[in-house]
């Protein structure tokens, strides 16, 4: 395909769940489940039987640390028959002030898709706006859409359709919460959010939830948020790029998921965390290692959900 035919139709980016409609997102979850089921018992290195991305190259660009995103995207691409190229932002000319728009135009001449982890969300948007190939958000300061696709898939595996169910968030308002808020609107579940007032979601996100008709309740009381919920979610108290660690720890101590808080949720509620976890801080060992925890299924489902996303972006 040359540059002219590529620009004739805009690529399918995956930057935010808010950009996509319910039908598309539900279709992706269905495809992820189908692919997961179809390769049960296969070694991780074996390709899927259809190899839809044979001959395609995905660049994985990381400006920040990663274990799950990096490995799951690489293996996802291999299982779909494609290949990857791994780079850190620091070793690219981006770090020496080449513009993101020029970078996008150049990458579009070599690659079939880009997955990028960059804290600056607007830079990822700018990359997508200027690229002729799909751009996938692998986490910014504003959102983590691939994670929450895996989380919705995990919820549904354990508890059936998420539509109409109740998810509780306890912690600060970070990137993962923003994608949960987008997901609540698109997948039609209730989300009860408890954050300290000083670490509450920014107004824009609040307004987006209201405008989208999402069933999201914002508050600062973790016990109230968790009461009767089908799922309790938390995340690290200090995200990548956060600076005020001591203050955050002090503000968030009361938001820890422990046996006392978890006992307020529905009896068969599950516990989710995107990982990496800080045991003894946002969650106790009893909960993360206990029977209600779904954290390692979430990590596995990153692989399956991202295969559906890659296949959709490159269809």
How many residues bind to ligand CP according to rule CB under 6 A? 9
85 vs 59: CA distance, rounded Å: 5
67 binds, among ligand NVA, ligand CP, none (CB under 5 to 8 A by kind): ligand CP
Q: Among this protein's residues, is 117 annotated catalytic?
A: yes
Q: How far is the CB of 140 from ligand CP (least distance, A)?
A: 12
**Nearest CB to ligand CP, comparing residues 87 and 212:** 87
According to DSSP, the residues that pair with 83 across neighbouring strands are: 57
Q: Which of residues 246-305 bind ligand CP (CB under 6 A)?
A: 274-276
Q: Among this protein's residues, is 112 annotated catalytic?
A: no
Q: Among this protein's residues, is 144 annotated catalytic?
A: yes
Prior bond to 276 cis, omega within 30? Answer: yes
Q: How far is the CB of 138 from ligand CP (least distance, A)?
A: 7
Buried b (16+ CB within 10 A) or exposed e, 227-244: eebbbbbbbbbbbbeeee
284 binds, among ligand CP, ligand NVA, none (CB under 5 to 8 A by kind): none
157 burial via Cβ count (<10 Å: 0-12, 13-18, 19+): middle
Q: Among this protein's residues, is 306 annotated catalytic?
A: no
Q: How far is the CB of 140 from ligand NVA (least distance, A)?
A: 9
- Output the residue with the shortest Cβ distance to ligand NVA: 239
Q: What is the DSSP string of 41-108?
A: T--TTSPPSS-TTTT-EEEEEESS--SHHHHHHHHHHHHTT-EEEEEEGGGSGGGGT--HHHHHHHHH
- 75 near ligand CP (CB under 6 A): no
158 vs 147: CA distance, rounded Å: 17
Q: How far is the CB of 312 from ligand CP (least distance, A)?
A: 20
Residue 22 DSSP class = H
151 binds, among ligand NVA, ligand CP, none (CB under 5 to 8 A by kind): none
List of residues contacting ligand CP (CB under 6 A): 66-69, 139, 147, 274-276
What positions carry a catalytic annotation?
117, 144, 147, 235, 274, 302
């Amino acid at each position: 395909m040359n540059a002219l035919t590529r620009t004739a139709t805009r690529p399918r980016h995956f930057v935010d769940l808010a950009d996509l409609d319910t039908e598309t997102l539900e279709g992706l979850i269905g495809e992820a489940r189908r692919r997961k089921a179809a390769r049960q018992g296969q070694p991780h290195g074996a390709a899927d039987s259809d190899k839809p991305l044979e001959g395609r190259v995905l660049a994985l660009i990381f400006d920040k640390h990663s274990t799950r995103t990096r490995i799951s995207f690489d293996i996802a691409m291999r299982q779909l028959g494609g290949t990857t190229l791994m780079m850190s932002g620091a070793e690219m000319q981006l770090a020496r002030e080449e513009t993101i728009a020029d970078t996008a135009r150049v990458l579009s001449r070599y690659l079939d898709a880009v997955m990028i982890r960059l804290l600056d969300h607007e830079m990822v948007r700018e990359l997508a706006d200027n690229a002729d190939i799909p751009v996938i958000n692998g986490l910014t300061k504003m959102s983590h859409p691939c994670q929450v696709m895996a989380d919705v898939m995990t919820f549904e595996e354990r508890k059936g359709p998420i539509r109409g169910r109740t998810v509780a968030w306890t912690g600060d308002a970070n990137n993962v919460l923003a994608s949960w808020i987008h997901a609540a609107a698109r997948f039609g579940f209730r989300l009860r959010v408890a954050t300290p007032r000083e670490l509450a979601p920014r107004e824009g996100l609040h307004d987006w939830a209201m405008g989208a008709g999402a069933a999201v309740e914002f508050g600062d009381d973790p016990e109230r948020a968790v009461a009767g919920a089908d799922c309790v979610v938390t995340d690290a108290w200090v995200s990548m790029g956060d600076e005020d660690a001591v203050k955050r720890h002090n503000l968030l101590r009361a938001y820890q998921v422990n046996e006392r808080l978890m006992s307020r949720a529905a009896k068969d509620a599950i516990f989710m965390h995107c990982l990496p976890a800080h045991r003894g801080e946002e969650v106790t060992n009893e909960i993360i290692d206990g029977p209600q925890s779904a954290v390692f299924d979430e990590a596995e489902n990153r692989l399956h959900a991202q295969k559906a996303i890659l296949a959709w972006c490159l269809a």
